[in-house]
Structure 1
Amino acid sequence: MTITEVSRKYELSADTLRYYERVGLIPAVNRNKNGVRNYTEEDCRWVEFIKCMRNAGLPIEVLIEYVTLFQQGNETIDSRKELLKEQRAQLAQKIEDMKKTLDRLDYKIERYEKGIVAKENALRRPD
């Protein structure tokens, strides 16, 4: 696949894909004889993984560390697993914090709606 096709498929700009490759988030993509990037299925799996992790809020630095460990081979499995567990714990905490915020917003909205209904009912009552 070309960078344009991958860009469309994963809804990432070509600049973002080039950046991910430059900083090592995705392995160097093979190029054809004209120098055009030719993404393989494996390259696309890396793009999908990185996009998923970025959408979850994982920092670039953590992902670079993960990819670097992955490239070092099986002796880093425990380190990679630990890194992912740490990130999972942080994400779970963020979700909990967001849930509390959502609950508070729901409460505030409900209060406004009750107040508005009461005011509207008061306006409709004949004196």
Structure 2
Amino acid sequence: MAGLRDCDAVVTGGRMSKANEFFAAADHLGVEMPNAAGDLYVAAGIAASDVICCVRLGGHSNTGNHNEAVALLKRADSGSERHLNTLLNLKNKAAYTHQDLTSAELKKMNRAAEHLVESARRAVASGR
């Protein structure tokens, strides 16, 4: 598939490490720095989605096209794509606008990222 980066244990492990790091950093920043936390939740969710795709499909999206990444995640773990969509839909507000994320939006991002990171951890643990 075009735009698919092959994964081996090094790539999968590296992406899982980043998902965990970004998620922990976002939780640490929390409501004190909601926009930075939100941006890190997006990064955690993307990295976790890559892990899920690596484990289940042998590769992850590397095109930068969010729609392709969402479609690929749907193939790898149907239902998880809605969590990635949640994060991607709030990415611009968190990182590129003058508006601050609300506490409700940050909580929504936390839940979405947590779902993806936990799904990635389970995929790695089970090998599928």
Q: TM-score, normalised by structure 2?
A: 0.29
| Higher percent of residues as strand | 2
Q: TM-score, normalised by structure 1?
A: 0.29
Larger radius of gyration: 1
